[in-house]
Amino acid sequence: MIMGILDSKSPTGPLAEKWTKHKNDINLVNPANKRNIDIIVVGTGLAGGSAAATLAELGYNVKTFCYQDSPRRAHSIAAQGGINAAKNYQGDGDSNYRLFYDTIKGGDYRAREANVYRLAEVSGNIIDQCVAQGVPFAREYGGLLDNRSFGGVLVSRTFYAKGQTGQQLLLGAYAAMNRQIHRGKIQSYTRHEMMDLVLVDGKARGIIARDLVSGEIERHSAHAVVLATGGYGNVFYLSTNAMGSNVMAAWRAHRKGAFFANPCYTQIHPTCIPVSGDHQSKLTLMSESLRNDGRIWVPKKLEDAVAVREGRLKPVEIPEGDRDYYLERRYPAFGNLVPRDVASRAAKERCDAGFGVNRTGEAVFLDFASAIARYGREKAMISGIADPDPETVTKLGEAVIEAKYGNLFQMYEKIVDEDPYKTPMMIYPAVHYTMGGLWVDYNLQTTIPGCYAAGEANFSDHGANRLGASALMQGLADGYFVLPYTIGDYLSKDIRTGKIPTDSPEFEEAENQVRGRMQKLMSGTGIHSVDHYHKKLGKIMWDKCGMARNAKGLEEAIKEIAALRKDFWENVKVTGTLDSKNQELEKAGRVADFLELGELFAKDALHRNESCGGHFREEYQTEDGEALRDDDNFRYVGAWEYMGEPRDAKLHKEELVFENIELKTRSYK
C-alpha cells in the first residue's frame, strides 16, 4: 500500500477569517461569461437542488439529472428531525465556535477544521434563505422560530418543521429550481441515471446518462460536473435510506480518478424500528428529535427482559426502580442526547448482555410516559386547571407530544401496530448515513479537475460521526453558499473554451464502456436475482463491518465480498431488455458497484487500527467500552485511489491539523 499526501487547499490565516479571505482571493466569472458556461449537476436532493438553483440564478447554464420522476422525490425528503444553525435564538450560549466545536468533537476529531468552521459560519444564512423561500419552520407562540436539541450538544440549535423538515426544505429548493427551469436556465432531466463520468484532457467534461424510461444512452457535456448523488448506506442492503440510494455516480467517478475518502465511516442510528424478519428490504427511522422527550431504557433484571420478550410482562408493568435508563446512568451530562455512535453502541451492549426487549432480543425501549406527564401537568397549570386528575394530565400531555411528533408516532403505529402514546416504542440501531464519500478539497473539488462533490456524496465535514441535523445543514451549505463561489474560481479559466463537443473520442469511448458493461450484465445466464446478491452483501457488511468490527472479521469480509462479486458477474440473472425500461438492470448496475465499494470499505476499516466515532474496532476500546483513538498514527483522512481492483487501491493521506481546538478524548459524561 503506497501512500501519497493530499493538499486540502484550506486557506491560511485565522480560522474565522479563512472563508471571507478565500472568497476575496478567488477568481470570479463575469455575468456575461457565465452565460457561456455549462454545468451539469447530478442529483437534485437538497445538495444538488440548492446548488443547481443557485448556479442558474447566477447565470450559468445548468443541466440537472436525477433518477426519480421528480427532484421532489430525492431521498432528502425523508429527513425528519431538523437542521442545525448557530443562530443562538434561545440565548443558551450558542455561537459559530460552539457549532464548530461540537461538530469536530462529535466527529471524534477526524474532520477538517477550516471546512467545519465555514459550515458553522454559513449555517445561519441557510435558515434565512429557507425562511425567505417560505419553508414553514416551527414557530414559538410569539412567532419566532423554534428550536430543539439534537445529540452531542448542550444547546438547542435545531430548526424543524414537525417531523418533515427534509420535505419542507426540499420543496423550498425545488421551488427555487423550478423558477430557473421556467427561465430556461435549468434543463431538468428526470428518470435519468448517470452511468459514467467523461474526462477530456484529464478534466471532467460531461456524463453518459441512461434514460430510464426509454433505455436510451445519452451524452451530455459541460465545463464542470457536480455530483450531489447522496450516500451509500444501502451497501448494507437494510438501511434507513431510500431504496434507490446508491453509490454508482460516485463510484464511476472514483474509477475515473476521484479518490474515495474514509469509506468505512458509517453512521448507525440508534433509534430505528427493529428488523422484523428476512422479508424486509427497508428500515424505518424514528427521528433523533424523539430523544428530546423520549427516555431510553431496558429492564434492570434479566428475568424481566426474558418475560417481556416472551410476552408475559408488559413494559408498563415494570416499576420505575426496575428500569435501567442506561444512557442517563452512563452519560449524566448528555443523557439520552449523546451522539448517535455512543447511543448505538450502548444499545448493542445492553442487548448483547441479554437485556433486549423484543422477540429477537435486539431492541430497547424509547419511552414518552415521563414527558407526557410533565407536559400534561404544565399544560394543566397554564390552562388554570388546579389539581388535575391523571387522565386529564395524560390527555393534555399526549396532545403536546402529538403536536411535536405526531407524524412520527403515527408512522410507528402503522408499522408496528402498537400505540406509542400508551406503550414505549421499541427501537434498535440501523445503518443511516455515510460520512465517507468522494474526497474533496476546501473548494469541494474532487481529485478530478472540474468534478465537484456536494452533500452526502462527499466525504463531508462530519469526521467519523455526524451529529444529528447536520446533514441538511451541510448539504444546503454546500449547495447554496459554498459551491456557487468556489466553482467560479475553476470556471474562470473556461470563459474562452466554448461548448464542449460530445462527438469526441472520449465521449465515444465512455459510451462504449457503458454499453459494454450493461451488455455484460444482461448476458448472464445465471439463476440468482440481483437482490439475492445485494442481501448477501448486506449480511457480510452488517456482520463484519457493522457497529463493531475486528481484524479477523474484516479480513474475512474482504475475501467474501471479492468472491461474491465474482459469483455475481458469473451468475446473476437480469431479466428484461437493454433498450427499454428495466428496473432489474438499474439495480444490477448499482449492486455491481456496491460489490466493489463493500470491499474497499472493509479494507479501509481494516487499515484504520483505531476506533473513532462510528468506526468501532473491538481491539481498540477503553476499559468502559468507549472508542479509543490513535491520534499519533491515524489523525488523517484516508483517501483511496482506484487502481483496478479494490484490493489494489492506493491510500493517500490528508493530515488533519488542529490549531483551534484541543485534541481530547471524547467524553459525554
Give least dist CB 530 to ligand FAD, A. Answer: 16
Question: Does position 456 bind ligand FAD by CB under 6 A?
Answer: yes
Q: Does 149 bind ligand FAD (CB under 6 A)?
A: no
CB of 319 to ligand FAD, least distance (A): 34
Q: Is 500 among the residues that bind ligand FAD (CB under 6 A)?
A: no
Q: Which span sits near ligand FAD by CB under 6 A: 62-70, 102-110, 313-321, 332-340?
A: 62-70
Q: Pull the grid cell for residue 654.
A: 490528508
Residue 211 backbone dihedrals phi, psi, to 5 degrees: -75, 110
Q: How far is the CB of 209 from ligand FAD (least distance, A)?
A: 7
Instruction: Tell me how far apart the alpha carbons of residues 281 and 278 are, in angstroms, rounded to a whole number.
Output: 8
Distance in angstroms (rounded) separating the CA atoms of residues 119 and 461: 8
- Active-site annotation holds for 565: no
Min separation Cβ 378 and ligand FAD, Å: 26
Instruction: Determine which residue in the list 8, 10, 36, 44 makes contact with ligand FAD, applying CB under 6 A.
Output: 44
The closest alpha carbon to 257, from 640, 517, 637, 520, belongs to 640
In angstroms, the CA 324 to CA 299 distance is 6
Nearer to ligand FAD, 248 or 371 (CB): 248
Span near ligand FAD by CB under 6 A; candidates 78-86, 129-137, 378-386, 499-507: 78-86
SS3 for 123?
helix
Whole-number Å distance between alpha carbons of 379 and 402: 14
Which of residues 119 and 371 has its CB atom nearest to ligand FAD in the complex? 119
Which residue from 524, 533, 523 is spatially nearest to 595, judged by alpha carbons?
Answer: 533
Question: Applying CB under 6 A, does 251 fall inside the site for ligand FAD?
Answer: no
- By CB under 6 A, residue 463 contacts ligand FAD: no
Q: How many angstroms from the chain centroid is the CA of residue 510? A: 29
Residues 436, 125, 163: CA angle, nearest 5 degrees: 65
C-beta of 396: minimal distance to ligand FAD in Å?
Answer: 27
Q: Is residue 43 near ligand FAD by the rule CB under 6 A? A: yes
450 binds ligand FAD (CB under 6 A): no
Query: What are the helix and strand counts (H, E) for the chain?
Result: 19, 20
Q: Based on the shown chain and the rule CB under 6 A, indicate whether residue 248 belongs to the binding site for ligand FAD.
A: yes
Residues in contact with ligand FAD, counted by CB under 6 A, come to a total of 45
Q: Are 284 and 240 in contact (CB under 8 A)?
A: yes
Binding test (CB under 6 A) with ligand FAD, winner from 11, 22, 52, 65: 65
Q: Does 471 bind ligand FAD (CB under 6 A)?
A: yes
For the bound state, the minimum distance from the C-beta of residue 536 to ligand FAD, rounded and expressed in Å, comes to 23
Question: In the range 167-226, which residues lie near ligand FAD by CB under 6 A?
Answer: 193-194
Edge to edge, the sheet with strand 295-299 lists: 266-272, 425-434, 364-367, 295-299, 323-324
Q: Which one among 66, 264, 425, 522 touches ligand FAD, defined by CB under 6 A? A: 66
Which of 100, 237, 428, 433 forms a contact with ligand FAD (CB under 6 A)?
433
Cα angle 34, 38, 42; round to 5: 130
CB of 440 to ligand FAD, least distance (A): 13
Distance between CA atoms of 555 and 619, rounded to whole angstroms?
14
Taking the least distance from each CB to ligand FAD, the nearer of 396 and 514 is: 514
Query: What one-character-per-residue DSSP string does 434-453 give?
Result: ES-EE---TTSB-SSTTEEE
| DSSP code string of 601-636 | HHHHHHH--S-BTTB-BTTSB-TTS-B---HHHH-E
**Of the listed 295, 340, 350, 565, which one is catalytic?**
340
The dihedrals phi and psi of 28, each to the nearest 5 degrees, come to -115, 160
Q: Is residue 78 within the footprint of ligand FAD (CB under 6 A)?
A: yes
Q: 357 or 471: whose CB is closer to ligand FAD?
A: 471
Task: Provide, rounded to whole angstroms, the least separation between the CB of residue 124 and ligand FAD.
Answer: 16
> Out of 29, 39, 40, 46, which residue is the one contacting ligand FAD (CB under 6 A)?
46
Q: How many CB atoms lie within 10 A of CB 152?
A: 26
Active-site positions? Answer: 340
The site for ligand FAD (CB under 6 A) is made up of 42-48, 65-68, 74-76, 78-83, 165-166, 193-194, 228-231, 240-241, 245-246, 248-249, 285, 432-433, 455-457, 469-472, 475
